[in-house]
Structure 1
Amino acid sequence: MRQVKSSSFEFLEPDQIDQADVSDHLTAALSPYNSGKSGREGWTCAWAPDSSYFAWSSGYRILHLIPWDANKKKRHDPADTEGLKERKYHMIDCGELIWALAFGSGLPQKASHIYRHCSYDKNLVVATGLASGRIKLFNCFTGSVIVELLDHRDTVRGLDFSKDGSLQLMSGSRDGTLKLWDLNNEGNMYCTHKARAKVNACKFSMNGKFAAAVGTNKTVLLWHGPIKDSPFYRLEGHHNEVVGVDFSSDSVLMATASFDTRVIIWNAYRVQRLRELGHLHPSPSLIFAGGANDNFVRSVNFSRDGVNVATVCDDGFVRFWHWEEDGDPVSVLQVSDPLCGQFSSDGTVLGVGTRSGDAQFVCAPQPLPSLLQLSRVAVRKAMRSDSVDGLPLPYLLKHFLKYRDFLKDDSRLL
């Protein structure tokens, strides 16, 4: 029996798990604002859909837009113009603390003031959620403000663009509301949903069929269809504030991260809990999980292949999990006070923001997915669960395609 050194892992000690590598370290810019006071935290980071840019909040109102070379897996050297394609590094003062970031791109559907400020054949927009409730959108090519969206009354903690190129923006705020904005219509706000909780994060699925939001009061909300027109499910399972949410590339799975030390992976179609990823062992009691337990999970992200899940936790570890496998993560890295993380679009790099305002690029493990997993992801990108039922396949194969092999008791689904 091993001598327990860390309660953060179930079977192995940290030094017995593969250690991830850091490919680059970004240092927070010195700021004349609030020097030596709170506000330096890097609460959020984001990648452009094609990984052409990495956006990072270094605290003190400062947004960094950093060109990224996806082929070389590194940020562009400002002195190297090869492959830069007119992309430039920008350091932008947003005027107040930044709590959320999201990239969006799309083609104009009609004449718009917003599109006159950004050429989408070569540029992206980045949205910033600010402490006052404002949302500022910037042209990534010029670094200039395109538009400000004003309606939230408290800090905007969640932002996400639809993945269909229509530039529909979803925002979630600590004022307890989710809002939808149409950038093809001058940034018109066309829907408000009262979440009955302070919203910490929100997300569209890749196929556009789902939307999710998480927040205080153990809140996990899931929509099957547009928020404006569809009923929602309130998922139960967490015991503390929920702060992170993400969908897998086939849009079947949803992961939520909570201060209760756990990540829960759900089947979004069937609204079922499939698996838990624990960050404190043994799992804390309900009272301990609902309070300050030093193992708050800050963020969760699926990689593109659907095999890796990355989590960031207050115990100082960034973890990479093969979520289909039981036990401890397959790779870890100890980082000082990590606060957020997000995969690049190809899943090879995880950007991590820290409480000191610095950021790191962490190399993610690259497992070879099984043919079964690749087939499942390919089928589920095109088919709903009820469509799978109609395929002329054996029951066990349908069972696998619908992710039922992870349910401990499937008898109730027969």
Structure 2
Amino acid sequence: MRQLKSSSFKFHEPDEIGQGNVVERFISATKGIDGKLGDETWACAWAPDNSYFAWSSGHRILHLIPWDAHRQKRHDGGDKEGLSKRKYHIIDCSDLIWSLAFGSGRAQNGHCSAYGGRYDPSLIIATGLGNGKIRLWNCTEGTLIIELLDHRDTVRCLNFSNDGNLQLISASRDGSLKLWDIPDGGNMYSTFKPHGLNFIGCRFAPNARFIAAVGTNRMAYLWKSPSLNSQFVKLDGHYHDVSCCDFSPDSALLATGSYDTKVIVWSVHKLTKLLVLGHMFPSPSMIFAGGANGHYVRSVAFCPNGLTLTTMSEDGYARYWDLSSQPDDPYVVGEVPDALCGQLSPDGSVLSVGFRDGDVIMLSANQSVPPLMHLSRQAILKHLTKYDLQALGLPKIVQDFLSYCDLTESHR
């Protein structure tokens, strides 16, 4: 058996795997501005309609960059066609930026929400700061809209619901998870604070019916309703802090990434483990998985086709995984040394990766066309709940397919 030189992959060397293409690079203008810590890009984000890319370049500075999705690059300021009055904004947020999220009064289906109020249909961006404040900015004007003041420590993650209602969820190092109603003056209406745990990541499901949150001490929680006051389920499977999570576009799958070097893909409806994606081989044993290993998983994101997953690891590689085939190794990788965060564009065309020195690159990779059966499954699950499907009395083989049982090793 061939001996592998890289511990990051199971069967292949990095040069034997397809390579992603760097299509754009942003250089931090504040790099090394005072010789102190603060250069890092801890967060980047994409507008739901791909119109803007947001980038925290370190030293409190937020860049709002109009994006040309067709050309996969920033908009040329001299080319007014398609710019739609969008402007490049550089904003000083008064403290280090740890998290970013775009929100819009338009739902993903394009309809305006009657609940949007004066924020509808304007695009806004939320910045989570090191001092615990959350600041919301108007993307068109680059002006401050409102400041949310309830967290007592760094806001590690932010996420808006995709239904156009501008509900915001925030996760903080103060150990709390909070829900905010932005149209109601930023009213904080729900808090969840377990004892002795700190939150690192949080997500609304695309259908706005579920919430996921992850954090220290192997924490991965799932709420089967968009309320923190409802009963939650704890997903057991990781052996270290859980750093990131993301739902599939049809809200039927949840991927969680951990410092234990693994990503677990869960069935949201059955609450079962479907797949485990490794980022270190051999994997750390349970007794050692809770320590430093150089292969922390820092980001995870589903592509729009629902069968491609992107991850970014501390080992210096961004990965594209095809969940429909044997996912022992990714099918595309990109070298990203000293990367801290990764975020996939809504159309799946590029993966933005932020670095410790404040720079950002855009990686592009080809994605396979999913089978027609899977596209049908996605369409069904976007519009029907688990209980709707049970009421139909479908054959077990169809129910298993709709539950993504075909992704498990026993069905390969």
**TM-score, normalised to structure 2's length?**
0.94
Q: What is the aligned residue count? A: 403
Taking structure 1 as reference, are residues 215 and 110 closer, same or farther at Cα in structure 2, changes over 3 Å only? closer
* Deviation, structure 1 residue 81: 1.4
1:305 aligned partner = 305
Equivalent pair of 1:109/1:184 in contact (CA under 8 Å): no
Equivalent pair of 2:213/2:222 in contact (CA under 8 Å): yes
SS in 1 for 2:287: helix
Residues in 2 aligned to 1:250 and 1:319: alpha-carbon distance in whole angstroms: 22
2:356 aligned partner = 355
1:385 aligned partner = 386
Residues in 1 aligned to 2:336 and 2:78: alpha-carbon distance in whole angstroms: 30
* Deviation, structure 1 residue 167: 0.7
1:251 aligned partner = 251
Equivalent pair of 2:315/2:337 in contact (CA under 8 Å): no
1:314 aligned partner = 314
Q: Does 1:68 align with 2:81?
A: no
1:336 aligned partner = 337
1:208-247 correspondence to structure 2 within 5 Å: 208-247=208-247
Residues in 1 aligned to 2:240 and 2:290: alpha-carbon distance in whole angstroms: 5
SS in 1 for 2:171: strand
* Deviation, structure 1 residue 408: 5.1
Q: Does 1:28 align with 2:25?
A: no
Residues in 2 aligned to 1:204 and 1:281: alpha-carbon distance in whole angstroms: 32
SS in 2 for 1:311: strand
Could you tell me which runs of 5 or more consecutive residues in structure 1 were left unpaired when the two chains were aligned: none
1:139 aligned partner = 138
Q: Does 1:271 align with 2:295?
A: no
Equivalent pair of 1:200/1:214 in contact (CA under 8 Å): yes
The residue type equivalent to 1:86 in the other structure is K
Residues in 1 aligned to 2:215 and 2:145: alpha-carbon distance in whole angstroms: 29
- For the aligned residue pairs, the C-alpha RMSD in angstroms reads 1.7
Could you tell me which runs of 5 or more consecutive residues in structure 2 were left unpaired when the two chains were aligned: 106-111
* Deviation, structure 1 residue 280: 0.3
1:130 aligned partner = 129
* Deviation, structure 1 residue 3: 2.9
1:182 aligned partner = 181
2:79 aligned partner = 80
The residue type equivalent to 1:67 in the other structure is P
Equivalent pair of 1:98/1:128 in contact (CA under 8 Å): yes
Residues in 1 aligned to 2:322 and 2:289: alpha-carbon distance in whole angstroms: 24
Equivalent pair of 2:30/2:57 in contact (CA under 8 Å): no
User: Cα deviation per residue 1:149-168 (whole Å; 9 max; x = unaligned)?
Assistant: 00000000010111110111
Residues in 2 aligned to 1:103 and 1:159: alpha-carbon distance in whole angstroms: 9
Taking structure 1 as reference, are residues 19 and 408 closer, same or farther at Cα in structure 2, changes over 3 Å only? closer
1:164 aligned partner = 163
1:24-63 correspondence to structure 2 within 5 Å: 24-30=24-30, 35-63=34-62
* Deviation, structure 1 residue 109: 4.6
The residue type equivalent to 1:156 in the other structure is V
1:288 aligned partner = 288
Equivalent pair of 1:18/1:332 in contact (CA under 8 Å): yes
Residues in 2 aligned to 1:111 and 1:159: alpha-carbon distance in whole angstroms: 19
Residue range with higher mean Cα deviation, 313-322 or 75-84:
75-84
**TM-score, normalised to structure 1's length?**
0.94
The residue type equivalent to 1:250 in the other structure is D
* Deviation, structure 1 residue 349: 0.8
2:153 aligned partner = 154
The residue type equivalent to 1:279 in the other structure is H
* Deviation, structure 1 residue 71: 2.2
The residue type equivalent to 2:334 in the other structure is L
Identical-residue share of aligned pairs (%): 52
User: Cα deviation per residue 1:4-34 (whole Å; 9 max; x = unaligned)?
Assistant: 110100001000000010100110122686x
* Deviation, structure 1 residue 282: 1.2
* Deviation, structure 1 residue 195: 3.2
Residues in 1 aligned to 2:232 and 2:210: alpha-carbon distance in whole angstroms: 10
Residues in 2 aligned to 1:226 and 1:348: alpha-carbon distance in whole angstroms: 29
SS in 1 for 2:320: strand
Equivalent pair of 2:116/2:165 in contact (CA under 8 Å): no
Residues in 1 aligned to 2:259 and 2:366: alpha-carbon distance in whole angstroms: 25
The residue type equivalent to 2:178 in the other structure is K
Residues in 1 aligned to 2:56 and 2:116: alpha-carbon distance in whole angstroms: 32
Equivalent pair of 1:42/1:59 in contact (CA under 8 Å): yes
Equivalent pair of 2:30/2:58 in contact (CA under 8 Å): no
Equivalent pair of 1:108/1:184 in contact (CA under 8 Å): no
Taking structure 1 as reference, are residues 8 and 133 closer, same or farther at Cα in structure 2, changes over 3 Å only? same
Residue range with higher mean Cα deviation, 100-109 or 203-212:
100-109
User: Cα deviation per residue 1:89-136 (whole Å; 9 max; x = unaligned)?
Assistant: 111111110011000011575796xx3xx5x44x31000000000000
SS in 2 for 1:286: coil
Residue range with higher mean Cα deviation, 376-385 or 148-157:
376-385
Taking structure 1 as reference, are residues 151 and 236 closer, same or farther at Cα in structure 2, changes over 3 Å only? same
Equivalent pair of 1:133/1:152 in contact (CA under 8 Å): yes
1:365 aligned partner = 366
Residues in 2 aligned to 1:302 and 1:153: alpha-carbon distance in whole angstroms: 31
